[in-house]
Amino acid sequence: MHKMTVRVTGLLALCGAIACINPVTAWAVNDEISGPGLASGGYVVTVEAENVNISKDTGEVIAQASQGSTYQVVEDMGDGYVKVQVGDTQGFMSLENASIREAQAEEEAASDNEQAMVAQAQASADRRGSLVNYALQFVGGKYRTGGVDPNTGADCSGFTRYVMQHGAGVALPHNSGAQSGYGTPVSADQMRPGDLIFYGNGKRVNHVAMYIGNGQIIHASTYKTGIKISAWNYRSPVKIMNMMGD
C-alpha cells in the first residue's frame, strides 16, 4: 500500500502536463484490472477530447492521444489516473471529468452500431433497387416532347420526374436543368443506382437520365429510340445528383 501511495504522488506531479487537458471519456480492455477504483474485469479507454497526453511517472510525455483513439487499461492507479498500454510501452492518463466502462458494454455498443449501419445500408440498397426495377418496366416506351407519363410518352425530364415520384416518392420539376438543382452532387465513382445523371453543352444541362448500375442508364432518348438503356458515359455528364437523401 505504501508503494501505491508513492506512485500516485508521482502521478500528481503530472497535473501540469495532464490535468489541464480537455476531458477524456474512458473505456478499457483487459483480463484482470487491479487498483482502488475498479473491480477485476475488462476495461478500455476511449479519448473524447481533441488531444490528451499520456506520460511516464517522471512527467515525460510518451504519446498524445487523439480524439476517438482507444487504449487498453493495465491498472487503476487511483486519484483519477489509469495506466494504459501504448504500443509496447505503458503510460499514465488522467481521467478527470471522465468515466470508465467495462469492455463488454463498449463491444456490445459497437456491435449494435455496426448492425444498425449495415441495416441502413441494406435498406438504402433495397430502395434504390426497387426504384430501378420500377423504371425498367418502361424500356421501349415512346418519346414525346413535353410528355410526363412514360405509359403514353415522355421526354427525358418527364420520364425521370415520373419515375422518381412514383418509384421513390421524390418530387421533381419537369425540366432537366431545374432537376439538376435538386439533390446532392456525387462523383462518378460514388454514384449508385437511382442517381440522376445530367448531360449538356458546356455547363448547360439539356438531358437527364437515371443510373441503373453496371455502367448503364435508362432514359427517354429520342423519337426514334424512345425509352432505352445506354452506357452512362455515352456523353460527358455535366453533373451527377443523389436525389434519394441517403
For residue range 182-215, list pLDDT tens digits in order. Answer: 999 999 999 999 999 999 988 799 999 999 999 9
Q: How far is CA 217 from the centre of its chain?
A: 26
Q: How far is CA 81 from the centre of its chain?
A: 33
pLDDT tens digit sequence for 69-99: 878 788 888 777 888 888 889 989 887 645 5
Q: Give CA–CA dist 8/126, Å, rounded.
A: 57
- Cell for 69? 483513439
Catalytic one among 15, 20, 174, 219?
A: 219
Query: Where would I find the H helices in the chain?
Result: 2-12, 15-18, 103-136, 156-168, 176-179
101 confidence band (pLDDT: 50, 70, 90):
low
- Is 219 a known active-site residue? yes
- Is 20 a known active-site residue? no
Please give the domain boundaries of the chain with CATH numbers for all domains.
2-103 (2.30.30.40), 137-242 (3.90.1720.10)
Q: What is the pairing mode between strands 100-102 and 25-28?
A: parallel
239 confidence band (pLDDT: 50, 70, 90):
very high
Residue 163 has pLDDT above 50, yes or no: yes
64 confidence band (pLDDT: 50, 70, 90):
confident
Q: Give CA–CA dist 135/219, Å, rounded.
A: 9
Q: Give CA–CA dist 170/5, Å, rounded.
A: 66
Catalytic one among 15, 20, 156, 166?
A: 156
User: 179: which residues sit within 8 A by CB, 6+ positions away?
Assistant: 157, 160, 161, 172, 173, 196, 198, 208, 241
Verdict on whether the full-model pTM lies above 0.85: no
Identify which of 205, 220, 119 has the alpha carbon closest to the alpha carbon of residue 160. Answer: 220
Q: Across all residues in the chain, what is the average pLDDT?
A: 81
CB 205 within 8 A of CB 177: yes
Residue 183 DSSP one-character state: S
